[in-house]
Amino acid sequence: MLCVIAGHLGVTQVNSLVFSFHMPLFFIISGYLYMPRKASLLKRKFKHLILPYFFTCFLIILLSLLANMLDGQYNLILENICSLVLSSLYGSGSRQIYSLGVGAIGAIWFLWALFWASLVYEIIHDNRCVWLIAAILFVLSYGTSKFIWLPLSLFSGMSAVLFLHVGQTMKKYNLFGDRNAILTFLICTIVWICSLYFDHGQYMSMSRCDCPNALNEIAGAIAGTCVVIIASKKLYLSRFKWISSVLEKYGRYSLIVLCFHLVELNCFPWDEILNLLNVSETVSRILILYIMKVVWSVFAIIIVVHIPLLASIYGVKKQVNICA
């Protein structure tokens, strides 16, 4: 989640690193944690992913309405509400559907994508041809998306099935077990570095189904995910366990962080705040902005946890994270 926030700062060098693995990582972990649930899966995923999606959209619409009223821009209220409602219903991550006048909803496209990916994987996970099916879904999604973009991030979800199965395969072969961890870490670090080098600043965008160099970027995403997971595990077992403990508590509420990150992206006047703080130097401005965004996400966690209605909507009582 810290990488997701960093990836939305608009810094090219940061994006090249973060986008190389951060969204595939979520899907791979979701696949790693996957357990067959059959009848309850649809209801559970809808409650855990789609209900928070629409409530977050409602918050953004409400705050945008209040912002227009405070600025005295009453003539823009209806237009802005209609635009946000259309974006919410279409659920496109970063693609604008100009022909329909629909804008992108932003970061929470992931919730729809994980919803579809989970349902499809539930159907195919025990099929002998699961690798082939997942690969075909990936190719079809990325190929077809060049000509048409379906609503509710359906193409993104279909392409993500491949990463769910990667995660399940990692679990099956105990890739992160103590016996395999060091060798896996070394190999994956080399693969990840090579992938970044050969990408030449390009990266996979799952929200747009854009993959300029598919094989290289898939390999880099899987390798980067392995490096992060193994490094996190080693940190947890080290004498600096308190750091991983803080990160674990933050990550436990990753669903809240994601949703309220989108709220601040849409509704907070960060440039005006930075100007008031008289921050002009580029590096300082980016660093301070990042810190403020992370602090806001922590504040959002505290708010949601202590308000029963919000806690219920965002699944706090079950203490689930975005991948569970």
Mean pLDDT across the stretch 226-232? 92
Q: Of all residues in the chain, what percent carry a pLDDT higher than 70?
A: 96
pLDDT at 112 > cutoff 80: yes
Query: Taking all residues of the chain, what is their mean pLDDT, rounded to a whole number?
Result: 89
Per residue in 148-171, pLDDT tens? 999 999 999 999 999 999 999 999
Mean pLDDT across the stretch 87-98? 86
Per residue in 294-310, pLDDT tens? 999 999 999 999 999 99
User: pLDDT band at 95, cuts 50/70/90?
Assistant: confident
pLDDT at 324 > cutoff 70: no
pLDDT at 99 > cutoff 70: no
What pLDDT is recorded for position 38?
60
The length of the chain in residues reads 324
Global pTM exceeds 0.85: yes
User: pLDDT band at 69, cuts 50/70/90?
Assistant: confident
What pLDDT is recorded for position 241?
78
What SS3 string covers the chain? CHHHHHHCCCCHHHHHHHCCCHHHHHHHHHHHCCCCCCHHHHHHHHHHHHHHHHHHHHHHHHHHHHHHHHCCCHHHHHHHHHHHHHHHHHCCCCCCEHHHCECCCCCCHHHHHHHHHHHHHHHHCCCCCHHHHHHHHHHHHHHHCCCCCCCCCHHHHHHHHHHHHHHHHHHHCCCCCHHHHHHHHHHHHHHHHHHHHHHCCCCCECCCCECCCHHHHHHHHHHHHHHHHHHHHHHHHCCCHHHHHHHHHHHHCHHHHHHHHHHHHHHCCHHHHHHHCCCCCHHHHHHHHHHHHHHHHHHHHHHHHHCHHHHHHCCCCCCCCCCC
Mean pLDDT is lowest, of 12-21, 107-116, 287-296, for 12-21
What pLDDT is recorded for position 39?
62
What SS3 string covers 219-245? HHHHHHHHHHHHHHHHHHHCCCHHHHH
pLDDT at 318 > cutoff 70: no
Where are the chain's structural domains? 2-243, 248-313
User: Which distant-in-sequence residues (6+ apart) come within 8 Å of 69 by Cβ?
Assistant: 77
User: Which distant-in-sequence residues (6+ apart) come within 8 Å of 316 by Cβ?
Assistant: 253, 256, 304, 305, 310
CA distances for 62 relative to 96, 111, 221, 299, angstroms: 22, 21, 36, 19
Residue with tokens 């945008």: 64
What pLDDT is recorded for position 321?
63
Beta-bridge partner residues of 102: 97
Per residue in 195-223, pLDDT tens? 998 887 777 889 988 888 889 999 999 99
Mean pLDDT across the stretch 246-250? 90
pLDDT at 122 > cutoff 70: yes
